[in-house]
Copies of this chain bind each other. A is one copy, B any other.
Amino acid sequence: MRIGLDILGGDFAPKACFEGVQLFLNEYQKPKVFLVGPPEEIQEGIRLYNLDVSRIEIVPAQEQITMHDHPVQAFKQKPNNTIAVGYGLLKHKAIDAFISAGNTGAMLVGASFMLPLINNVPRPTVGTYFPQKQGYAYLVDAGLNMDCKPEYLVGFAQLASTYMRTLHNIEQPRIGLLNVGEEASKGNALTKQVYELLSASNLNFVGNIEGRDLHNNKVDVIVCDGFTGNILLKHAESIYEFFKDQPGSELFNYELYGGAPVLGVDGLAIIGHGISNALAFKNMLIKSVEMVEKQLISNIKQHYANQS
């Protein structure tokens, strides 16, 4: 098992990355970590954090895509950036997963341009955990796809269903379509069409859910367009800030969850939150190992192969 990590990604990089790797290596015995970044910085991190060199590979990449770079332009202007180098390793199966908490747009551009789309997937997507009274539901799309066709949302549901089955052992994840009312006739032009398509699909579609149902354990997967999903995600994060010193609020602490995989591409790319701390990096490493062990990507390919 080989996990790649961008040491220049995130607001607290590289310090938080090295601390996270240290915590991870101490707890998990097997996986190797491929650190992607300037070799001298990696060497210094290995020394400072006393990392076990037998479990580290140094992958040189001198350039950084910052939060201010335009994702597509940055790939051209900085060809030797950590994200491009990481995706290169992933594409050539030199690593099993690649993690970065860097420029989210660049991570998405890299996934789209450098990894093949799995057959019959309409669009790649990224989800996010939404806390429930017990446990979590998975909301897709969390912000990758703004203007969606109905079949995109069905694809998000297929991908998230496989994700929840694979990662959380839910045999038939309950799929809810985020909408303004329970009846099939409710909603905007998009959701009315998606309702029809989901009803006719092989998914465990339980119907529309409303804004009030986002935390009440009604479903395992919440499907919406990326515009709505992104706003809800950021709203939920701000709610955590609002109530952060109060019991119950820890459910809204997104830092604990680790990163989100790009779903639908043939390769495991995991996007971390920009504000990832050492704990978040450790959790991303742990989660990525779990996704590799549980064969998330193979399961998605198998799911789509079974349909066609």
Contact = CB atoms under 8 A, between A and B. Distances in A.
Given A211-B231, A231-B232, A232-B235, A187 B146 contact: yes
Given A210-B234, A235-B212, A187 B248 contact: no
Interface string A134-150: 00000000010011000
A214 B235 contact: yes
Nearest to A240: B212
Contacts of A187: 146, 227
Contacts of A237: 211-212
A28 interface: no
Given A187-B227, A227-B188, A232 B232 contact: yes
Given A180-B146, A235-B235, A242 B227 contact: no
Interface in A233-249: 233-239, 241-243, 246-249
A215 interface: yes
A212 B241 CA distance: 9
A73 interface: no
A216 interface: yes
Nearest to A148: B188
B231 A215 contact: no
Interface residues of A, number: 38
Contacts of A210: 230-231, 234
Contacts of A233: 211
A285 B61 CA distance: 67
12 contacts: A143-B180, A147-B188, A191-B227, A211-B230, A211-B233, A211-B235, A212-B235, A212-B238, A212-B241, A242-B248, A243-B248, A246-B247
A41 interface: no
A191 B179 CA distance: 19
A230 B146 CA distance: 18
Contacts of A241: 212
A213 to B, nearest CB: 7
A200 interface: no
A217 interface: no
A188 B238 contact: no
Given A180-B231, A191-B227, A211-B236, 20 more contacts: A146-B189, A180-B230, A187-B227, A188-B225, A188-B227, A210-B231, A210-B234, A211-B232, A211-B234, A211-B238, A212-B234, A212-B237, A212-B238, A212-B241, A214-B238, A215-B239, A215-B242, A227-B228, A243-B249, A246-B247
